[in-house]
Structure 1
Amino acid sequence: MSVIKKDTSNVSPKKKNIEEDASDANFRTLSILSYFIVLVLLGVPIWWYTTRVYRASLPLDEINSLQLKSKNSSDFGLPLSLDYDILISFIHPDPQTINIQANAREIDHYLQHFLKKISLVTDFIVKSQWLYLTELGAKPRKVMDHFALLENQLPHVITPLETKLWSHVSPRPSIHLVVYFPHCQAPLYIYNSQNQMTSTNTFISPRWGGIYLMNPDKNACKLGSFKADSLLIASTFQEILKELFKVGNLKEFTLNKIEEMLESSKRTLKSLAQLLSEINSIVISDKVADKIKLALESVGKAEKALAMGHGKEALDHAKLAFKNSEEAFGDPSLLALLYFPDDQKYAIYIPLFLPVMIPVIMSLIQIRKQLGSKNADKTKID
């Protein structure tokens, strides 16, 4: 069998070089195009997708349509919560002179009768502590056989006590109920703004709690031992709690708390929607989105039940709305990428992409010029 070979001996070297140059040019063009496809058409979308912040969908229009009431003075009492710590503190400044006995368990037992009435709205955990060698921090005025603590001095009493009361160890808001046993040689009484001695000898701070000054009697001071009346202390604390929570009629108290919870839930949801709309780098996880949607849904159900007069159902939905709105607003995942906004993302990645992209872009421009010159030459030949 004979093999016919193509005779290339007659092809000129110049023509060979032209063909090789054209082949190399095509190869370079394909290489540049492949780099462009990988870096720009594939790389940039992949980079954008993998570095984007995940944001679950939210019913922002429905949240923004919620109607809020104007704030009033009742909004500045105890912080709204579904559970509180009641911290009963017994303060004995002079344990060397007199032994004082106070039964915290009895006081708790007497208080439970009142706390159970409002436990449908909020829960309470009662704790107690003793503080010794602790003064009130305000200098009383001498009045005949006793000392007077004026009303304008009382705010200065709380600040020194705050550093010694163990309320900061709990995640729940604390209500402070303090019993202070003054020195035997210096009975202490509270005087009001009319310079008259108060009948209860108590002081109430709306966002903090109350202080009860319980003076040991003269006979106990002589004996060096004083047993505090648990029922008297509990009844005094009960009146303080009624004042703090503004408990008159139980039904009115429940309705007021439902309205407060709904109003707080709406404000929290609207604040959260505004925050998430303004800051795009905040992650919105499915968990947070579900809580926001459940809170919004519960607000609607509570308002509907309240309008129909179903107080128990309205309270349950209001508590659910308040709980989920607060948990969504305070979820740690919202802060995951708060300090990594888009401008910082560009500042980090542009130095990586730009040096690689400049040669590719310059090569594409050169290829475009070559193609344009070839088309012009072809037009001239035609």
Structure 2
Amino acid sequence: MAAAGTAEEKLRGKYSANCITVMVILAGLPLWWKTTETYRAALPYTQISELDFLLLDISVPVEVVFARGTLTAEQQKKLLPQTQFSQKVNQLDDKTGFKYRYEKTYRAATGIEQDALMGENVEGAVDTLSRVYESPAGSVVIYVVAADSQLLPQEFTVYIGKHRAVFLRSPVTGSHSAEDVLQDIDDSVEEILQTVSFTDDMVVAALSSRVPSGTFGTDTFTDSMTAFKSSLGRQNAQLLLGIPRVQPPPETLVQNPGNMIVTDWETDRLLWVRTVENIGTATNTLTSLAQLLDEIGNIVINDNIASEVYSAVASVQRSLDELEAGRLLPAFQAGKEAITSSERAFFDPSLLHLLYFPDDQKFAIYIPLFLPMCVPIMLSLLKTAKNLRWRRKVD
């Protein structure tokens, strides 16, 4: 009787141990895993990695309008109207570069434009043309007037208006071939565009968050402060707004903007710089965030952060598309949304809501807790396995 009771008690102990083991494996471990796992919403890692390689494509719409008398009938027949593209590529490093493209449309002046260009008051022509034709942000209209035109002061060959109209005294003569006409005109047009749109240095400086240029040192800061203290009115406003200062080429006259303080084309220059800067900073922030989340696998990524990241990626792509299409204002708006969303995601307080320990430290905490329970279970499983092996041998 005693032997039977002991055997029954051993059997009951084995069943109990096996039941506890099964419960721990089937219920305890999944429950522990579920309650300790970190919630991480899905993020567009593939798109972010693509943005890590950035090649900006900037398009500037340019109209070159020839007034009556600047071309011979034969020259005009061969040249007008037509559209040409010129572009330049700058690769700053293995991940960042930019190219800009001038989309130049050559055409003859309309009747209204011709009436404005026939006068002798260039400021009046600027006002008339700005009322008749409203040029979109980022675009430039260059009016080519006859070499003996009274519209421009005699000592100047270029007059830059306060809006987006530029007047160029024609370097073309009747003996020019069609190819020579465009060559001479394009040389002057390129020089004008470097003044009223943007320069390579401006774009490089705007991308300094991705490719540090190291050009802004103490000397530059001292010069800026000196300029701020010594200049007045309009120059102070330009400095405060961050508008790059312009040094016009020789024989170029820039119209005083008067009550505008800042001209339309100066505003465009600021928008070009800020758009490129926002794209560069937003892509840099997104790639840094993706790298951080990849390195620390147990940081919580809630739905709000994921939404901001998706919004930032979409806004960056939209800004790039608008830049390529030559639509400056939509590109600027999208770039502003991109940097806002990316910084909201990067600086979201929930990323630091918990203390994030390395895995080896977590194991150091959990092992002392689970080891006392795991040892009896493992011994019981080993003993059960031995008994099963013994029974098979006996049978």
Q: Classify the secondary structure of the residue corresponding to 1:365.
A: helix
For residues 313-337 of structure 1, the C-alpha deviation after alignment (integer angstroms, 9 at most, x for no partner) is: 2222111111001111111211233
Is there any run of 5+ residues in structure 1 with no aligned partner, and where? 1-15, 73-119, 121-202, 215-231
Structure 1 residue aligned with 2:326: 309
CA contact (8 A) 1:55 1:283 kept: yes
How many residue pairs get aligned? The number is 217
| Match among 271, 284, 293 for residue 254 of structure 1 | 271
- Aligned equivalents of 1:275 and 1:266: distance in 2? 14
CA contact (8 A) 2:238 2:244 kept: no
- Aligned equivalents of 1:330 and 1:288: distance in 2? 9
- Aligned equivalents of 1:255 and 1:340: distance in 2? 44
| Match among 27, 30, 35 for residue 20 of structure 2 | 35
- Aligned equivalents of 1:295 and 1:46: distance in 2? 36
Structure 1 residue aligned with 2:317: 300
- Aligned equivalents of 1:359 and 1:208: distance in 2? 76
How far did 1:338 drift? 4.9
Question: Given the alignment of the two structures, is residue 205 of structure 1 paired with residue 205 of structure 2, yes or no?
Answer: no
How far did 1:62 drift? 1.1
- Aligned equivalents of 1:374 and 1:49: distance in 2? 39
How far did 1:290 drift? 0.7
Structure 1 residue aligned with 2:239: 240
CA contact (8 A) 2:282 2:339 kept: yes
Structure 2 residue aligned with 1:58: 43
Structure 1 residue aligned with 2:31: 46
How far did 1:296 drift? 0.3
- Aligned equivalents of 2:338 and 2:47: distance in 1? 15
- Aligned equivalents of 2:302 and 2:280: distance in 1? 25
Q: Mark the CA change 1:277 to 1:210 in structure 2 (over 3 Å): closer, same or farther.
A: farther
Is there any run of 5+ residues in structure 2 with no aligned partner, and where? 56-90, 94-136, 138-218, 247-265
| Match among 281, 284, 298 for residue 301 of structure 2 | 284
Q: Mark the CA change 1:211 to 1:252 in structure 2 (over 3 Å): closer, same or farther.
A: closer
Q: Classify the secondary structure of the residue corresponding to 1:46.
A: helix
| Match among 384, 387, 394 for residue 367 of structure 1 | 384
Letter in 2 for 1:367: T
- Aligned equivalents of 1:207 and 1:42: distance in 2? 71
- Aligned equivalents of 1:213 and 1:207: distance in 2? 10
CA contact (8 A) 1:281 1:338 kept: no
How far did 1:365 drift? 0.9
- Aligned equivalents of 2:223 and 2:291: distance in 1? 28
CA contact (8 A) 2:18 2:380 kept: no
Q: Mark the CA change 1:205 to 1:327 in structure 2 (over 3 Å): closer, same or farther.
A: same
Structure 2 residue aligned with 1:334: 351
Equivalent positions of 1:346-361 (< 5 A) are 346-361=363-378
- Aligned equivalents of 1:367 and 1:289: distance in 2? 49
Q: Mark the CA change 1:235 to 1:364 in structure 2 (over 3 Å): closer, same or farther.
A: same
CA contact (8 A) 1:204 1:210 kept: no
- Aligned equivalents of 2:222 and 2:302: distance in 1? 37
Q: Mark the CA change 1:331 to 1:247 in structure 2 (over 3 Å): closer, same or farther.
A: farther
How far did 1:339 drift? 3.2
- Aligned equivalents of 2:272 and 2:40: distance in 1? 36
- Aligned equivalents of 2:223 and 2:295: distance in 1? 32
Letter in 1 for 2:244: K
Structure 1 residue aligned with 2:360: 343
CA contact (8 A) 1:281 1:337 kept: no
CA contact (8 A) 2:243 2:267 kept: no
How far did 1:236 drift? 5.2
Q: State the TM-score, normalized to the length of structure 2.
A: 0.49
Q: Mark the CA change 1:270 to 1:208 in structure 2 (over 3 Å): closer, same or farther.
A: farther
Task: Among all aligned residue pairs of Structure 1 and Structure 2, give the percentage whose two residues are the same amino acid.
Answer: 34
Q: Mark the CA change 1:318 to 1:252 in structure 2 (over 3 Å): closer, same or farther.
A: same
For residues 241-270 of structure 1, the C-alpha deviation after alignment (integer angstroms, 9 at most, x for no partner) is: 36x442653223212211111111111111
Equivalent positions of 1:162-201 (< 5 A) are none
How far did 1:348 drift? 1.2
| Match among 271, 283, 286 for residue 266 of structure 1 | 283
Q: Classify the secondary structure of the residue corresponding to 1:58.
A: coil
CA contact (8 A) 1:204 1:211 kept: no
How far did 1:207 drift? 12
How far did 1:359 drift? 1.1
How far did 1:31 drift? 0.8
Letter in 2 for 1:237: N
Structure 1 residue aligned with 2:338: 321
CA contact (8 A) 1:295 1:322 kept: yes
- Aligned equivalents of 1:302 and 1:364: distance in 2? 63
Letter in 2 for 1:53: T
The CA RMSD measured in Å over matched residues stands at: 3.0
For residues 196-231 of structure 1, the C-alpha deviation after alignment (integer angstroms, 9 at most, x for no partner) is: xxxxxxx972899668558xxxxxxxxxxxxxxxxx
Q: Mark the CA change 1:213 to 1:207 in structure 2 (over 3 Å): closer, same or farther.
A: closer
